[in-house]
Amino acid sequence: MYNNPESTSAQQPSLTLREAFAQTNYILVGNGDRNIHVLQQAFADINGDLASDMYGRGPVIEDFQKHMADVLGKESAVFFPTGTMAQQIALRIWCDRKNNRNVAYHPLCHLEIHEEDGLKELHHIHSILLADQDRLITLADVQQMDQKVACLLLELPQREIGGQLPAYSELQAISAYCREQGILLHLDGARLFEILPYYQKTAAEVCALFDSVYISFYKGIGGIAGAILAGPSDFTAESKVWKRRHGGDLISLYPYILSSKYYYEQRIGKMEQYYKEAGQLAHEINQCTAVHTLPEVPVSNMFHIYFELPKEQIEPILIEMCQATNVGLAPYLTDKKDGTQCSTELSIGDRYGQIPLEHIQQALHWLDQRLKEVSANQ
């Protein structure tokens, strides 16, 4: 399966890691390319006379919202174009209900590090950061908060630290404590369906621990965009008002809704497969020199890879790996620990199962040999 790396480099100009990754025949992560075909495939068998939704009304949106509310075990659900919008609105509603502008969440929560302080600038909500950034929030962290909060947000899995999860008993204990203390509990469930095989619970069982929940349709599900916010009926009714205020009440959302529905139906039954394949791949990676996964044993279809060498040394090796083995492991690296380490994130989807296991093992053996060579020269 291997190319000759010397002849490959002679034939091709210098490539970035992302370019080399994209040119491989065997990409280990994701469901496929994000191109127009994703939308075309979702619409291929849809009757062109189907009426679109109009400003949040019509069977296309209402039926899907009802179905997802049932799946999540909540009274009602609202389709949003983005999760960023949905979650800011959820926290705004809960803060208004409690007349308290404080919310608590993990230091690496999406709202804290990826949204340009939208929660603070648009809604004047103050965030209280719980736990150290490299570990999960625990019941003790919640119990020891020294300020009153309207709402606690938990992200399952905690993406920025490798997709880690608390034990289900810990989750139950946090939920019970919040209810005793009158703290509303919101679930950032962008990857909710991906964690169900590990917990061996239904989506409704997990969501029963929370007052409100958000799910995404473009991560493990692989749709083009879109989110659901679910909770009590009065909560979702208020969220529709805020959706209009945020400019999210588009005249029609059907391209997002129909593609979300299509890929949900295509992939919801594959989450167990993705979870097992992630464990298989992590095991193989952990046999390599100077590299480990976080978690060591994945608890969902995603995990992080940590290389015990700086990005400037690992990136050329991964480019060479793409060219020599035709296997794409990762399209990017992030510096860690003052540049002495680097990492990347892997999420398993449809692509992984289409690759013969021996190709993956041979490529990782090649990587192990190159890492041994580099490590021996340190």
Residues in contact with 35: Cβ distance below 8 Å, sequence separation at least 6, in sequence order:
none
- Find the Cα–Cα–Cα–Cα dihedral 195, 117, 234, 243, rounded to 10°: -100
With 0-12 CB in 10 A as exposed, 13-18 as middle and 19+ as buried, what is 208?
middle
Per-residue pLDDT of the chain (378 residues; tens, 9 = 90+): 555 544 444 445 589 999 999 999 999 999 999 999 999 999 999 999 999 999 999 999 999 999 999 999 999 999 999 999 999 999 999 999 999 999 999 999 999 999 999 999 999 999 999 999 999 999 999 999 999 999 999 999 999 999 999 999 999 999 999 999 999 999 999 999 999 999 999 999 999 999 999 999 999 999 999 999 999 999 999 999 999 999 999 999 999 999 999 999 999 999 999 999 999 999 999 999 999 999 999 999 999 999 999 999 999 999 999 999 999 999 999 999 788 999 999 999 999 999 999 999 999 999 999 999 998 887
Nearest C-alpha neighbor of 64 from the set 73, 77, 75, 50: 77
Structure tokens at 158: 């905690």
Residue 306 main-chain phi, psi, to 5 deg: -115, 125
pTM of the predicted model as reported, rounded to 2 decimal places: 0.94
CA–CA gap between residue 373 and residue 378 (Å, rounded): 9
